[in-house]
């Protein structure tokens, strides 16, 4: 399926399945960033759960223009389809010198779908420097189910990502990724806009699949991260294969035969 839309490639989609996030640095024009900052400072009205994204916001609202940007729209469609609904949206603010970091946690602990996912889109309308904290996330954690703040006692993990970015950056996360906001040690308020989106169609081959057979797909899905334990890292790859099979509709796909060998159940045969 080749398309002129700004859809993800199969390699990019496999990277999301392995890492649990994708980032689009500086894709939002400064004019939208400035209007977004003014709107976020005033607070935003709520959006009822299940509202179609296409009707959730006025056309002249920064949210509509943000989500209509080709790079953002194409990535969203690749992940959750052409007509998602809004789960919720929120303004996250870190006050100057607040001296507090959010505990590491995972959202939506009751959401254990193995063959589908929501996305959380996080938008940063101004530059985020190391001193401003930024959102910390743990690549490759999204398929390891935890009970929300059970991991809150963990302060740092090898390979974690502490976001710094230019203004107008958008990060898209699998709903299960471990994350937390870091403290803001500057004299400036830090803003982040978040919107969670739910798919309304099966999440099967929604991206540009022209490179589906590229060997780089399997390479992405076989990625290890520094915080993984030697043995249980294989379970992470196993779960990625299950998700990739669901997303592609290809029940034969595998990495190192890990899923194939444990699903091998030869039928009993009668002997004459």
Segment 165-220, tens digit of pLDDT: 999 999 999 999 998 888 889 999 999 999 999 999 999 999 999 999 999 999 99
HEC letters along 222-261? CCCCCCCCCCCHHHHHHHHHHHHHHHHCCCCCCCCCHHHH
| Rounded CA separation 207/194 (Å) | 23
Strand partners, 193: 91, 123
Distances (CA, A) of 124 to 2, 21, 177: 31, 15, 18
Higher pLDDT, 191 or 98: 191
Domain 10-198 annotated CATH 2.60.120.380: no
Per-residue pLDDT band for 4 (boundaries 50, 70, 90) equals low
Please report, for the chain, the start and end positions of each structural domain, with discontinuous segments joined by +.
10-198
The encoded tokens of residue 79 equal 């992940």
Q: What is the pLDDT of residues 108-162, one digit of tens each?
A: 778 878 889 999 999 999 999 999 988 989 999 999 888 777 788 887 889 898 8
Which pTM value belongs to this model? 0.92
What does the pLDDT read at residue 270?
60
């Amino acid at each position: 399926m080749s398309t002129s839309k700004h859809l993800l490639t199969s390699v990019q989609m496999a990277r999301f399945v392995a890492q649990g996030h994708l980032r689009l640095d500086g894709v939002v024009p400064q004019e939208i960033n400035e209007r977004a900052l003014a709107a976020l400072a005033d607070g935003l009205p709520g959006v009822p759960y299940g509202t179609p994204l296409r009707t959730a916001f006025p056309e002249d609202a920064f949210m509509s223009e943000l989500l209509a940007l080709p790079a953002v729209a194409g990535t969203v469609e690749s992940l959750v389809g052409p007509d998602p609904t809004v789960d919720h949206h929120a303004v996250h603010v870190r006050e100057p010198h607040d001296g507090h970091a959010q505990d590491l946690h995972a959202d939506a602990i009751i959401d254990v779908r193995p063959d589908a996912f929501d996305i959380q889109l996080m938008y940063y309308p101004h530059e985020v420097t190391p001193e401003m904290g930024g959102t910390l996330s743990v690549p490759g954690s999204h398929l390891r189910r935890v009970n929300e703040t059970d991991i809150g006692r963990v302060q740092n993990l090898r390979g974690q990502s502490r976001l710094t970015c230019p203004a107008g950056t958008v990060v898209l996360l699998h709903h299960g990724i471990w994350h937390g906001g870091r403290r803001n040690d500057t004299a400036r308020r830090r803003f982040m806009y978040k919107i969670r989106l739910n798919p309304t169609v099966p999440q099967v081959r929604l991206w540009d699949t022209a490179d589906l057979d590229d060997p780089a797909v399997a390479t992405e899905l076989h990625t290890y991260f520094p915080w993984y334990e030697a043995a249980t890292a294989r379970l992470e790859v196993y779960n990625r294969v299950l998700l990739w099979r669901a997303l592609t509709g290809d029940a034969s796909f595998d990495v190192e035969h890990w899923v194939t060998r444990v699903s091998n159940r030869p039928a009993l045969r009668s002997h004459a």
